[in-house]
Amino acid sequence: MSVGTWDDRDYPVLAAAVALCDPDQFEQARDDAIERQTGFDQATVQAALRALRNEDPPLFKQFEDGDGRIMSVRFPTGEARRRVGLWPVIPDVLIQTLVELAEREQNDEKKSLLRKVVDLLRDTPKAAVAAAAGVAVKALLGGG
């Protein structure tokens, strides 16, 4: 996905679809409801849904087709919720945990080191932070 298409079309459609997938309403977002929520026309919503359908990891467990279009999406995945900011991502959780540890730390030297690590992580791309955290956990568990 190009950044412009993501920002201008796909992200708003994803955010609307996830928001509309209310657990009390069978976790389903119909295409016409997404159109109303985003203000996009049917062609724009359909183009976005087709692009989102092919994402890996999947963003929805089910896409329902009919009448030559994607009529609804159901059951947003954790990945979809993370992408729209409803669930935390590993780097954010790691940074918040280190901030809390630094706040509780009594030793000034350790507190300073924790704050430096937090600053470093905030300045590092999230994908790199997640990869480094994965390597560290794997090493701690004896897998690497």
Render 53-107 in DSSP notation, one character per residue: HT-SS-SEEEEEEETTEEEEEEEE-HHHHHHTTSS--HHHHHHHHHHHHHHH---
**Mean pLDDT over all residues of the chain?**
87
Q: Which pTM does this prediction carry? A: 0.64
Chosen domain end from 34, 62, 83: 83
Say if residue 78 is in the same domain as residue 100: no
Mean pLDDT calculated for residue range 29-38: 96
User: 43-52 pLDDT, tens per residue?
Assistant: 999 999 999 9
Q: Name the residue range of residue 40's domain.
A: 3-83
Say if residue 79 is in the same domain as residue 37: yes
Q: Are 45 and 67 in contact (CB under 8 A)?
A: no
